[in-house]
Amino acid sequence: MITRTLGTSGLEVSAIGLGCMGLSHGYGPAVEDQDGIALVRAAVDQGVTFFDTAQMYGPFTNEELVGRALAPVRDDVVIATKFGFSFDGSRSTGLNSRPEHIRATVEDSLRRLGVDSIDLLYQHRVDPDVPIEEVAGAVRGLVEAGKVKHFGLSEAGMDIIRRAHAVQPVAALQSEYSLWWREPEERILPTLLELGIALVPFSPMGKGFLTGSISSTTSFDDSDLRGSLPRFTEEARAANQALVDLLSAVAARKGATNAQIALAWLLAQHPWIVPIPGTTKVHRLRENIGAADIELSPEDLKEITETADRIDVSGDRYPAHMQRWINR
pLDDT in tens, 52-86: 999 999 999 999 999 999 999 999 999 999 999 99
Confidence label for 320 from pLDDT (cuts 50, 70 and 90): confident
Alpha-carbon dihedral of residues 27, 29, 33, 37, nearest 10 degrees?
-20
**Separation of alpha carbons 111 and 205, rounded Å:** 32
Does residue 51 register a pLDDT over 80?
A: yes
The Cα–Cα gap between 296 and 78 comes to 28
Q: Which helix (H) or strand (E) holds 85?
A: strand 85-88
- The C-alpha atoms of residue 36 and residue 141 are separated, in whole angstroms, by 33
Position 117 in a domain? yes
- Whether 57 is catalytic is yes
CA atoms within 13 A on the CB side of 189: 15
Answer yes or no: is 63 within a domain.
yes
Residue 325 scores a pLDDT above 80: no
Collapse the DSSP code of 13 into the 3-class scheme (helix H, G, I; strand E, B; otherwise coil) and give the result: strand
Q: Are 221 and 199 in contact (CB under 8 A)?
A: no
Phi, psi (deg, nearest 5) at residue 273: -100, 130
Band of residue 90 on the pLDDT scale cut at 50, 70, 90: confident
Pairwise pLDDT comparison (327 vs 231), residue with the higher score? 231
Angle, CA of 275, 20 and 256, to the nearest 5°: 45
The structure's pTM equals 0.97
Residue 245: alpha-carbon gap to chain centroid: 24
pLDDT at 175 over 80: yes
Handedness of CA 96, 183, 273, 252 (dihedral sign): positive
Domain contains 141: yes
Residue 32, in any domain of the structure: yes
The size of the chain, in residues, is 328
Query: What are residue 206's DSSP bridge partners?
Result: none
Higher-scoring residue by pLDDT: 318, 151: 151
List strand residue ranges (DSSP E) for 155-302, in order: 170-176, 198-202
User: Using one digit for the tens of pLDDT, what is the confidence trace for 250-306?
Assistant: 999 999 999 999 999 999 999 999 999 999 999 999 999 999 999 999 999 999 999
Q: What is the mean pLDDT of residues 87-96?
A: 92
Tell me the CATH number at 55. 3.20.20.100
Average of pLDDT values for 108-127?
A: 98
Contact in structure between 279 and 39 (CB atoms under 8 Å): yes
3-state secondary structure of 192: helix
pLDDT, tens only, 220-237: 999 999 999 999 999 999
Round the average pLDDT of the chain to a whole number and report it: 96
Q: With a cut of 90, say whether residue 327 has pLDDT above it.
A: no
Greater pLDDT, 309 or 324: 309
Rounded Cα distance, 261 and 254, in Å: 9
Q: Give the Cα separation of 74 and 58 in Å (integer).
A: 22
Task: Determine the Cα–Cα distance for residues 7 and 184; give it in Å rounded to an integer.
Answer: 16
Residue 286 falls within a domain, yes or no? yes
Q: What is the pLDDT of residue 324?
A: 74
**326, part of any domain:** no
Work out the pLDDT band at 116, boundaries 50, 70, 90: very high
Averaged pLDDT, 113-124: 98
Count of the separate structural domains present in the chain = 1
C-alpha dihedral, 153 to 154 to 157 to 160, nearest 10° = -30
Question: What is the extent of the structural domain holding 40?
Answer: 3-207+266-293
Would you state the pLDDT for residue 166?
A: 98
Kind plus residue range of the DSSP H or E element containing 152: strand 148-154
Higher pLDDT, 48 or 321: 48
Question: Which residue out of 27, 57, 122, 177 is catalytically annotated?
Answer: 57
Residue 327 lies in a domain: no
For residue 69, is it within any domain?
yes
pLDDT at 89: 86
The verdict on whether omega for the bond into residue 319 sits within 30 degrees of 0, i.e. cis, is no
Angle between helix axes 282-289 and 33-45 (nearest 10 degrees) is 30
Single-letter amino acid, residue 138:
A
- Provide the pLDDT for residue 54: 98
Inter-CA distances, 231 with 114, 239, 247, 319, Å: 37, 10, 18, 9
Tell me what pLDDT residue 321 has: 81
Whether the bond between 275 and the residue before it is cis, its omega within 30 degrees of 0, is no
**pLDDT score at 249:** 98
